[in-house]
Homo-oligomer: A and B are copies of this chain.
């Protein structure tokens, strides 16, 4: 189909051309004396994005899924009990992984559209007087529903319960797009991936661990090798990696971090919120609702609920097949009920107006009762009123 594909799925996000160029590098000896000049600063700079000065950052040549596993198998011991609230597909998958890896998973069902229930969390932890729960797992930004949880609130709840559990956070679709304060929020492990806010292809799992977590790594008996933090720790100490690194991901990350810092992380976060708010104005103008309840709206992705008599998959199909625009589908429990518009990464106002206009075309094709241009108009008014002068 002529013209570029317009990509608005919530990851992989659009990779800026200059990042793709930065990845277009000749290979080099990852054991050379100059390699650490590339690698060591990446680990330091990742810490800034995670909001930590006391923690330690890591890069695995793998994906965010691997990142989840790194955290579970390095910090915990076989059979440890973890607590998780399920309110979306990625919370579900992480819980499922923990079960498959032999951990005891205490799973609580929550509304798909809300985040971690702070009151329930606090109450549950207070009940756990023997501290059987070793870790609380949270999806910072639930990509399937467009919901952001309050991690600072979780820390408060855990402190209120005086519970020593680790706090593990999946920040795959939030890091580098939504503010994250690892140290301030007392997060023990934060997991992210290359293909979201970092505007890279998939292939890099970026994590950070608190000193408390790292201490646990030393004694963890969970069998592991490829994803063993200890090998990373040993090799990273001199600026190297335990096995051949994915050089394009590293060089791309260098450029990505340069871009993020040049814009300023606070500006990056504000931009994501603003772009997301424009999309929400459009949804309201269409007379539709978001999957996310008030107070839980994500800055990186909006899940739009379609009327009960419609199938969101048809919207996505029309968008892709007729207009070369890629929207995100509903996953699992919300399959067919929502379509998703990603507003993450290398985006600006006109990008989002294209997404909204494309969604309008597809919805109209599917017989939605909306007015052509209504969503775009609402977004335009919002973007205009909030644009830098």
Contacts and interface: CB of A to CB of B under 8 A. Distances in A.
Interface stretch (A11-19, A208-216, A299-307): A11-19
A57 to B, nearest CB: 19
Interface stretch (A113-121, A124-132, A146-154, A345-353): A345-353
A228 B93 CA distance: 14
Contacts of A361: 349, 353, 380, 383-384, 387
Contacts of A353: 353-354, 357-358, 361, 376
Interface in A185-228: 193, 195, 201-203, 223-228
B374 A201 contact: no
Contact of A377 (B1, B23, B372): B372
B12 A30 contact: yes
A142 to B, nearest CB: 16
A302 B342 CA distance: 31
Given A32-B320, A61-B202, A357-B357, A3 B249 contact: no
Interface string A328-363: 110000000000000000111111011001101100
B383 A377 contact: no
Contacts of A375: 373
Contacts of A21: 21-22, 24
A193 B360 CA distance: 36
A164 to B, nearest CB: 25
Contacts of A249: 203
Interface residues of A, number: 101
Contact of A24 (B23, B100, B326): B23
A246 B194 CA distance: 10
Contacts of A374: 373, 377
Contacts of A243: 63-65, 202
A22 B23 CA distance: 12
A244 interface: yes
A167 B2 CA distance: 33
A91 interface: no
A233 interface: no
14 contacts: A2-B263, A2-B271, A3-B348, A3-B349, A4-B17, A4-B348, A12-B27, A15-B27, A21-B24, A102-B223, A202-B245, A350-B354, A373-B373, A376-B377
Q: 4 closest pairs, A vs B, by CB?
A: A373-B377, A3-B348, A373-B373, A203-B246
Given A29-B320, A373-B380, 17 more contacts: A4-B16, A6-B351, A9-B31, A17-B17, A61-B203, A62-B226, A63-B244, A64-B243, A202-B246, A226-B227, A324-B350, A325-B350, A354-B354, A354-B357, A372-B380, A373-B377, A377-B377
